[in-house]
């Protein structure tokens, strides 16, 4: 049975391997799908952008075509009426009758110069020119016979004639317009004008665009590229070719067929190049104006759009990877933050346990203080009364005895005052007050003791009020305790100098008390504000002064800091400055507690 089980396991593994090789993994399938969709999207965008940019190019080409068509029509249209006017002039009829030929030559010359026409001339019924505006020029039309020209033949038939051709006399291309001269006896002759198109040809050549004008026979009569002139865009049969040659329309300059094939969608293959193509009639003799534009801009713009999309897709993919890495990093930081938070919580728990122990100690101290002060107040009062009565009756043998009793009683009263601070609740009303006024009041109470101790004092108060919210008597206790603490620290110092300063710094009232005593001696602020912590000799203090200061400062929203100044130390207390709006309110109620 053991071998059979082994065979089944081996067979199962081989089957799994075969299936894995025959079918792609889900991740590979997703990747292939993403790649296929991306390529299809890029291809569709390329085609769509090509269609879009081509439509823009075609629209712009149509606008340019209309502009050139109007320009061509304006260049010819302004002369349309002149042949008709001259044909109906009686002087022309007289000239055809042989009268005033010289005067007519001069008249036609003036008309041509004023109008800008290349030539104005009159032909008899055989096509012979009998009067011409260019009669003074070497290549004058005068005496030439143009009976072979279609425009003459059409006019002799009584119709208006138009014709484009290379001049048989001058060799310059022009546009000819003719009108029959009408008389009661029939058509005695023809008046014709020649419009010089060489300036229009030069204008087209100067343009940085591709244009050509095709006549009704498919021959290019005007073009921006001179090499295209008189080439044919369509195949030409023998009959048409013979007619063109008989009319000497191009003076032997008829060119070979051009490599021209019009495609669908405003496109043309011309000279082996794929071009954008728009065309429209000029309104003259079935002529067509063609405007050509290279479609390289279409390809460039569509390629640029596709490239930008590729960049966008790449940026989005990169951004998604960036976000993913950021999420991973954020998760790692979150786990790290959780660990840090756990450590901080443990530290806070330890500090809370310490504060709880301190609060328990202070609570016990409050109960003890209440009992002690209750038991001592009345005996101390009675003792003071007895001492006063004995002093009045003269029962003391020495005058120093009453003073000693007073010192002992004063020390006992100071102890009860400090103990009373811990035995009463601290829910008291705060009001807007000037910290400088508080300091001046406390300073008056301290000045006598400082003078007796030979302490040099310096007090620096600003001229403007420093408004804070607080309780005046309790803040006075802060000042008194700090100053007494500083004075006590300088008892054994050769230089006893105390400096008290108040300043307004960054929205805080700053009170600093500096002495030249023995300094902090390595003690921290927590040590100094610990109840019953004292560096004085036994009987010189209970170590509650700075604890009281710390409690009052805390209930006023302030902070306390210390620094070793060598010599001496400096206590710095900061209170929030009272805002102007709060200052206007007056007294405010702030429930605080000195016992934590």
Q: Where are the domains of the chain?
A: 82-296, 427-585
In contact, 223 and 204? CB cutoff 8 Å: yes
Q: What pLDDT, on the 0 to 100 scale, is given for residue 11?
A: 40
> 3-class SS at 171?
coil
Integer Cα distance of 565 and 562 in angstroms: 9
CA–CA gap between residue 163 and residue 176 (Å, rounded): 5
Predicted local confidence at residue 462, as pLDDT: 94
**pLDDT beyond 70 at 51:** no
Give CATH for domain 427-585.
Answer: 3.30.565.10
529: pLDDT confidence band, cut at 50, 70 and 90? confident
> Between the CA atoms of 139, 141, 147 and 151, what dihedral angle is there, to the nearest 10 degrees?
100
Q: Is the pLDDT of residue 20 over 70?
A: no
Report the SS3 class of residue 462. coil
State residue 362's pLDDT score. 59
pLDDT value, residue 475: 92
Q: Report the pLDDT averaged over residues 455-459.
A: 92
The pLDDT score that the predictor gives to residue 29 is 73
Q: How many C-beta neighbours within 10 Å does residue 160 have? A: 15
pLDDT given at position 401 = 66
Query: How does the average pLDDT of the chain come out, rounded?
Result: 79
Q: For 67-116, how does the pLDDT look when each residue is reduced to its tens digit (9 = 90+)? A: 888 877 777 888 888 999 999 999 999 999 888 899 999 999 999 999 99
DSSP 588: B
What dihedral angle (degrees, nearest 10) is formed by the CA atoms of 439, 440, 446, 452?
130
Tokens, residue 130: 């009998």
Question: Can you tell me the mean pLDDT for 19-25?
Answer: 50
CATH class name, domain 82-296: alpha beta
Distances in whole angstroms, Cα of residue 322 to Cα of each of 313, 328, 330, 342: 14, 10, 12, 29
Q: Is the pTM of this model over 0.75?
A: no
Q: Which residues pair with 456 in a beta bridge?
A: 497
Q: Is the pLDDT assigned to residue 350 strictly greater than 70?
A: yes
Tokens of 462: 């600003």
Same fold, 82-296 and 427-585: no
ω into 567 cis (within 30 of 0): yes
Which one is predicted more confidently, 464 or 217? Answer: 464
Name the nearest CA neighbour of 268 among 289, 288, 286, 295.
Answer: 295
pLDDT band at 147; cut points 50, 70, 90: very high
Given a cut of 80, whether residue 219 has pLDDT beyond it is yes
- Gap between the Cα atoms of 282 and 286, Å rounded: 7
pLDDT given for residue 399 in this prediction: 65
List the alpha helices (DSSP H) in 394-508.
Answer: 400-423, 435-452, 472-489
Q: How confident is the model at residue 137 (pLDDT cuts 50, 70, 90)?
A: very high
Question: Average pLDDT of 531-539?
Answer: 57
Q: Distance (Å, rounded) from C-alpha 196 to C-alpha 192? A: 13
Q: How many residues does the chain have?
A: 596
């Amino acid at each position: 049975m053991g071998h059979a089980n082994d065979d089944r396991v081996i067979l199962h593994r081989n089957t799994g391997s075969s299936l894995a090789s025959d079918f792609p993994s889900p991740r590979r399938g997703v990747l292939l799908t993403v790649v296929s969709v991306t390529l299809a999207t890029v291809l569709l965008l390329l085609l769509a952008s090509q269609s879009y940019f081509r439509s823009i190019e075609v629209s712009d080409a149509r606008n340019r075509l209309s502009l050139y068509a109007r320009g061509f029509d304006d260049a010819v249209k302004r002369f349309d009426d002149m042949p008709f006017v001259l044909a109906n002039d009686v002087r022309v009829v007289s000239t055809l009758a042989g009268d005033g030929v010289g005067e007519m030559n001069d008249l036609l010359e003036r008309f041509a110069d004023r109008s800008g026409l290349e030539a104005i001339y009159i032909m008899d019924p055989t096509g012979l020119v009998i009067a011409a505006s260019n009669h003074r020029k070497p290549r004058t039309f005068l005496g030439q016979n143009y009976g072979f020209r279609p425009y003459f033949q059409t006019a002799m038939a009584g119709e208006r004639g138009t014709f484009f051709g290379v001049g048989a006399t001058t060799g310059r291309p022009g546009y000819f317009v003719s009108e029959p001269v009408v008389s009661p006896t029939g058509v005695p002759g023809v008046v014709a004008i020649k419009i010089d198109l060489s300036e229009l040809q030069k204008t087209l050549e100067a343009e940085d665009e591709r244009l050509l004008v095709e006549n009704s026979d498919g021959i290019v009569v005007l073009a921006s590229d001179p090499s295209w002139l008189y080439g044919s865009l369509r195949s030409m049969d023998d009959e048409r070719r013979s007619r063109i040659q008989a009319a000497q329309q191009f003076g032997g300059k008829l060119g070979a067929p051009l490599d021209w094939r019009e495609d669908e969608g405003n496109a043309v293959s011309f000279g082996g190049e794929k071009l954008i193509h728009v065309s429209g009639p000029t309104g003259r003799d079935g002529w067509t104006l063609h405007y050509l534009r290279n479609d390289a801009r279409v390809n460039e713009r569509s390629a640029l759009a596709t490239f930008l999309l590729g960049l966008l897709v790449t940026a989005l993919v990169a951004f998604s990877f960036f976000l993913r890495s950021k999420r991973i990093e954020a998760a790692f930081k979150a786990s790290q933050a959780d660990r840090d938070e756990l450590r901080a919580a443990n530290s806070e728990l330890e500090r809370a346990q310490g504060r709880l122990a301190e609060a328990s100690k202070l609570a016990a101290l409050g109960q003890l203080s209440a009992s002690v002060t209750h038991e001592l107040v009345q005996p101390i009062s009675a003792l003071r009364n007895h001492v006063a009565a004995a002093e009045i009756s003269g029962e003391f043998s020495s005058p120093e005895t009453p003073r000693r009793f007073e010192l002992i009683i004063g020390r006992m009263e100071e102890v009860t005052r400090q103990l009373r601070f811990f035995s009463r609740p601290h829910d008291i009303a705060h009001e807007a007050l000037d910290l400088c006024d508080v300091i001046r009041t406390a300073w008056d109470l301290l000045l006598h003791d400082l003078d007796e101790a030979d302490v040099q004092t310096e007090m620096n108060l600003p001229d403007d009020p420093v408004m804070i919210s607080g309780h005046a008597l309790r803040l006075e206790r802060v000042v008194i305790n700090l100053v007494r603490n500083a004075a006590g620290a300088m008892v054994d110092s050769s230089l006893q100098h105390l400096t008290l300063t108040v300043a307004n710094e960054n929205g805080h009232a700053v009170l600093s008390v500096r002495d030249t005593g023995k300094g902090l001696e390595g003690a921290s602020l927590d040590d100094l504000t610990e109840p019953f912590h004292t560096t004085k000799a036994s009987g010189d203090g209970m170590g509650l002064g700075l604890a009281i200061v710390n409690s009052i400062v805390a209930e006023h929203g302030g902070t306390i800091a210390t620094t070793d100044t060598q010599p001496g130390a400096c206590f710095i207390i900061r209170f929030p400055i009272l805002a102007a709006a709060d200052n206007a309110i007056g007294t405010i109620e702030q429930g605080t507690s000195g016992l934590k």
